[in-house]
Structures are given as C-alpha cells and as structure tokens.
C-alpha cells in the first residue's frame, strides 16, 4: 500500500516536472533542479519530428470538442493505462478485469463518483444497455447462472459500442 502510494505520487510529480521543464524550454529558459545532461536529452527528444507530431496529435485530441461532448477526460492521473490495469488485476486477486470495469474505473472521478467525459459516459450507458438486453435474453432462455455474460462477451460489447460511437 505504501509502495503503491509512492508510485502514484512519483508519477504525478514526474509528469508535472517534465511538463514544467518543457514549458521553460519553450520560453527559452533553463529550468531549476534538473541535471543538465537530462535536460539536454529531453530537448533532443522534444525536437524529434515523431515526438512533435505525437504531441500535436495528443493536444488536438485532448482539446477537441468531440461533436459537442466536451474535452476528453480520464481519471487515471499520471498512471499509464497499462500500469492501472496491472493495479486492478492485483486488486482483483490476480484475475484480469474486463474492458467495461476498466473503462468505468479510468473515467470515474474518484472524489465525485461521476463520469466527466461525455463520450465515455455515453459509451458506458450504451454498454450497460447492451448488457441488460443480453441478460434479459438469457433469462428468457432459462439461464440461471449468477453472471451469465462471460469475460469475452463483456469485452466484445465494449469493443462494439466503442467502435460504433467513434465512427458515427
């Protein structure tokens, strides 16, 4: 638990520091508290055409209005989705979590329990609806399983919904 809290804090601080260092570099200033060799390496990285293209794409995506559904918001903080998935698997006793659980976790504000991202909220609502439709069909067919939808079935619903809402 202490190690997890440390990693979370370190990720946040590292992300903030690198962002501040880049802002200083863009302004033509030298940041304090960073070793010169590290800063030179970051400058080389920031000037790479691939890095600049990725930065531009990410910025445009982050700031786009997405058909009036607002700016993209996730609540994983500075934690990568891969690391967050690993944390969830660990919390789930070593068992993988389905895409729906992961989507809800990474888009739900931990303080307010609200989904702030309009597209994610819409997708989560559609996935819930699709799950209910399938559960209703299964109960009408006489299934008595406590969780009749499999891991793969839930993941496929999430993929289908996410794909259909991205390209409408």
Q: What is the pLDDT of residue 168?
A: 44
Q: What is the pLDDT of residue 147?
A: 65
State the average pLDDT over residues 22-39. 90
pLDDT, tens digit, 9 for 90 and up, residues 81-121: 888 999 999 999 999 999 999 999 999 998 999 988 888 88
Q: What is the pLDDT of residue 49?
A: 95
State the average pLDDT over residues 19-24. 89
Q: What is the pLDDT of residue 9?
A: 81
Q: Is the pLDDT of residue 39 over 60?
A: yes
12 compared with 127, residue with greater pLDDT: 127
Which range, 6-15, 124-133, 136-145, has the best average confidence (pLDDT)?
124-133
Please state the pTM of the whole predicted model: 0.61
Q: Which of 27, 51, 52, 21 has its CA nearest to residue 39? A: 21
142 compared with 28, residue with greater pLDDT: 28
Q: What is the pLDDT of residue 165?
A: 67
Q: What is the pLDDT of residue 143?
A: 67
Q: What is the pLDDT of residue 4?
A: 82
Q: What is the pLDDT of residue 11?
A: 80
């Amino acid at each position: 638990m202490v190690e997890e809290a440390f990693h979370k804090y370190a990720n946040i601080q590292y992300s903030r520091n690198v962002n501040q260092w880049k802002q200083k570099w863009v302004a033509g200033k030298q940041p304090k508290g960073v070793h010169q060799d590290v800063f030179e390496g970051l400058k080389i990285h920031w000037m790479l055409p691939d890095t600049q293209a990725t930065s531009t794409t990410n910025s445009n995506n982050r700031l786009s209005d997405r058909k009036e559904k607002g700016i993209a918001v996730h609540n994983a903080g500075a934690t990568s989705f891969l690391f967050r998935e690993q944390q969830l698997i660990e919390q789930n006793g070593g068992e993988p979590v389905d895409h729906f659980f992961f989507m809800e976790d990474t888009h739900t504000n931990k303080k307010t329990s609200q989904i702030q991202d309009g597209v994610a909220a819409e997708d989560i609502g559609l996935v819930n609806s699709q799950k209910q439709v399938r559960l209703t069909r299964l109960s009408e067919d006489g299934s008595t399983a406590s969780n009749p939808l499999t891991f793969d079935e839930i993941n496929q619903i999430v993929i289908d919904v996410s794909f259909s809402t991205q390209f409408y």
